[in-house]
Chain A
């Protein structure tokens, strides 16, 4: 995608119209979080049949000096576009912004998106609306993100900020100069597991993926590691057979990786291993014992009364049932004590 593009940021062109109300066009970089991108794609799928593109508002956070913008969230805004005019539902935009800010007080308005890579007069008009004083992002520049969603072509995202342009105020209102700025897609550690799961479905016909259990995802990781090892060892043996060109850099890299393997005494490993495996198995055993005990306790509490329900008073059998529970609890306590000591010994 556009990561590979190189950017040259030129000095801002000065528009005569916007003296005093001019947003800064200092260089900035943009970080795009995947959920915002996903949301834009979803909106693009849900557009009305006759609509060429849809637009929406971008929310996110700005760094203190305003040179880095992180787009975290976005929402759709209905608009209609004809050859002559464009209409954006301002009330909706305001209402939705208020609703979003209530749930995410830390996020601010940073700009807007459109789902076509075309920039036209309407884009400039909307851009000026988002960048204006008051409701807009002023004094920071509004970010415009275009995501092309043409079937059969790559999804291409681009980000722009704008500078005012035009000789008279009227002209300046519906025109502006879009300056491309670089962006990166970044995701945090928390999203890694989710993205892995989602990308697991990308090669499947039904585009869906069941939630994997711990052991299944472990299996998958191991398979992937094995595959990589296979590739590397293939390469190495090819080099040894003088079938492939050797590379000293790769050799050094592999050497460094291999030397990371710890040198430890086999006896130490044996001991540590045994200690840990015992802990693990013990906790598993205790957890299941506790589960059984609890189950038993529940069953006894209700079952004892079934036998005694013929009794008009029902007191003594009930007490018997609770007595059964009472017997369980010291057992539980003991199990508990052991469970507590184990992990702390390590």
Chain B
């Protein structure tokens, strides 16, 4: 489904990624972990198209997408959320989620200007679908008309997940979905992520610091340290890997 092959990325002299290779298995949850500055977010940016890798390729559904723009990749079915929430703050929850449907809609300029007719039909269909598949699913119907700015952090994270789901993506990249959440919120979010994978069959790739959650929900884990991939395997394999233990706890442990 999604595969990165020997990706290198550097900014000036800093080598953010040095030869990262792995494949996210279709319909499963793959976790990317690593200490701060290991290059996890850079990897996401290379996959979603904000950075072009210096070397190596990104494959999606068998096609090389390394040089496509972010919006082209989104059209192909890659959705993502951001570490520090990138919702449209001036808009309501509903409008944010509707924007997720952008690539699936067909309304062009002329039918938009006249609205009544095909554009209206499409909009109402989008609304129904979002209400049923996203808003209900994420249990955010009580806040659908609220502006983003007044929502608490945990709910904003959930709305951002909703916006990504509205794209009906094939692959979902989640950048620290539970960062800064308390245990209860973390549990909620983990349940939503599992549901996404089970109900919609979406391939999930997630970056996270919360080890318990990663070990619990991921079927495959990739470990990065200083831009290098130091381990890859099932949660059990990875947590027993001496290199990983060293990276996390220091050489003495």
Determine if chain A interacts with chain B: no
